[in-house]
Structures are given as structure tokens and as C-alpha cells.
Amino acid sequence: MRISAQISNSGGNNKVNLQTGEHSHSINISAKPDGRGSSVNGGELLFLALAACYCNDIYREARKRGIEVEGVEVNVTGQFGNEGEPASEISYSAAVSAKAPREMILDLMRHTDSVAEIHNTLRCSSSVVLSHCEAREV
């Protein structure tokens, strides 16, 4: 499944488009007050990606086990140092409310941690490559 994300920022406008396979959609992320860049930073979006992945995967894995999940809460935290330094001390906590015994829910949560794709991508230190540069003179 191919996934892509695109951001276009100019003149105070900020447009974010996302695509998974054939499904595409936009999300609203405003520009910074001065119009130069997004009002959210990459670290926030990275941690949101971790939270969203775990949340969505809980529902996916629960469905496979026949567990009815009523709600999921995920909180991701970490540290960023100086410019150019990678994140450190990334951790997350989660709470899952489901119609199942406590031990089944905990087993679901531990299993989901082991199969969450974004988490496993970061755990494997996947390479990120700048594949194309285009300079446009104005």
C-alpha cells in the first residue's frame, strides 16, 4: 500500500494532502501567524503519527479477536534537542476501554504495540532519502 503526504505553503496559505492507495483527502493545518510554514511542527506530527497508528491498530487487532472497543486514548511524549538532532526518550501511554476482561485488553494492547507499523518503522531506524530537489527562481 503506497502512502504519500504533501504540503504546499506560500503566501500565508498552507495545504496538506494525504493519500493511501487510491484514497486521498486533505486535513486542515493552518499556516504560522507570519504565513511562513505550518502552525504545527514535524515533531508534533511525528508523535501524532505514533498516537494515530496505535489507536487505529487497536481497533484493527480487536476486531480480529472479537473484542468490542469502546474507546482509546494515546499520549506520546519525547524530547528534541538542538537543530538537526533526532528525537530521544520517545514513549507512549495508552488506555483502552473494551467489553472484555482486563487481561484480554492488556494482551490486545501489548500485541498491538508489537505490530504497530509506525512504531516498528522508528524502531528499525528506516532510511529517509531526499530523492529529488527542484529550485524555482522567482
Q: What is the chain's mean pLDDT, rounded?
A: 94
> How sure is the predictor about 125, in pLDDT bands with cuts at 50, 70 and 90?
confident
The domains found in the chain, sorted by start residue, are 1-35 (no CATH), 41-138 (3.30.300.20)
> How sure is the predictor about 92, in pLDDT bands with cuts at 50, 70 and 90?
very high
The pLDDT score that the predictor gives to residue 126 is: 78
What pLDDT digit, counting tens, does each position of 52-79 carry?
Answer: 999 999 999 999 999 999 999 999 999 9
> How sure is the predictor about 34, in pLDDT bands with cuts at 50, 70 and 90?
very high
| Measured distance CA(49)–CA(47) in Å, rounded | 5
Mean pLDDT of 94-104: 97
On the question of pLDDT at 84 being above 90, the answer is: yes
CB atoms near residue 98 (< 10 Å): 19
10 beta partners: 13
